[in-house]
Amino acid sequence: MKSIAQLFLVAALAAGSFAVSANTPAPEAPAKVAKPDLAKGEASFGAVCAACHGADGNSGTPANPKLAQQHPEYLVKQLQEFKSGKRANAIMSGMAAALSEDDMRNIAYWLTSKTAKPGFAKDKDTVALGERIYRGGIADRQVPACAGCHSPNGAGIPSQYPRLSGQHAEYAAAQLTSFRDGIRKNSSVMSQVAAKLNDREIKALADYVAGLR
């Protein structure tokens, strides 16, 4: 049997252990992210973005992307990278510089709530080539099928890969060319893929994407 002294020692150690654990600060709860305010998003978009991207996010100018129905996480990431300079564009960097994180989220989620207007392919001579690359890649150059990340109908995978369906062919081609030429540097995956494409293949892919439904 333990002596009385030993029992007192065990009790004292236990009490000390409890005191230490009781005084240990509890882990901080993660900061709550405010729910997007769609009304504020609409107001901000109308004031800052609508002139180039259309009142409902369906740009009528081929050089400016359609943003309606795009994944909000992707839109927020692009705005953050325009603001930080990771994605270079003089106009967009200036626009994003004035936006807070809440502004970006509000705008992004409002755009997601809008319906994208469908587009269409224009060049029947190259659309078949674009379809082959989009759906099957180019095996001998290790070019993966675009559908693997952007889905067969161009809807993309939320929070990872953007929606491409119905995007202006001119804009899509410009972005692929920028990735290939090292001008756009905010996606190493896209830079590696585009580096293996020639001008004709880029044009064909962009035209095919414009007609995806």
**pLDDT tens digits for range 67-115:** 999 999 999 999 999 999 999 999 999 999 999 999 999 999 999 999 9
In the chain, list all ranges with CATH 1.10.760.10.
38-112, 127-210
pLDDT digits (tens, 9 = 90+) for 10-20: 444 444 433 33
**Beta partners for residue 138, in sequence order:** 143
Burial category of 48 from C-beta neighbours within 10 Å (exposed 0-12, middle 13-18, buried 19 and up): middle
Q: Supply the pTM of this predicted model.
A: 0.83
Percent of the chain with pLDDT strictly greater than 90:
80
Contact 42, 110 (CB under 8 A): yes
Q: Tens digit of pLDDT for each residue in 164-210?
A: 999 999 999 999 999 999 999 999 999 999 999 999 999 999 999 99
Domain 127-210, CATH: 1.10.760.10
Which amino acid type is present at position 160?
Answer: Q
What confidence score (pLDDT) does residue 156 get?
95
Beta carbons within 8 Å of 68's beta carbon, 6+ residues apart = 54, 56, 57, 58, 111, 114, 115, 116, 117
Architecture of domain 38-112: Orthogonal Bundle (1.10)
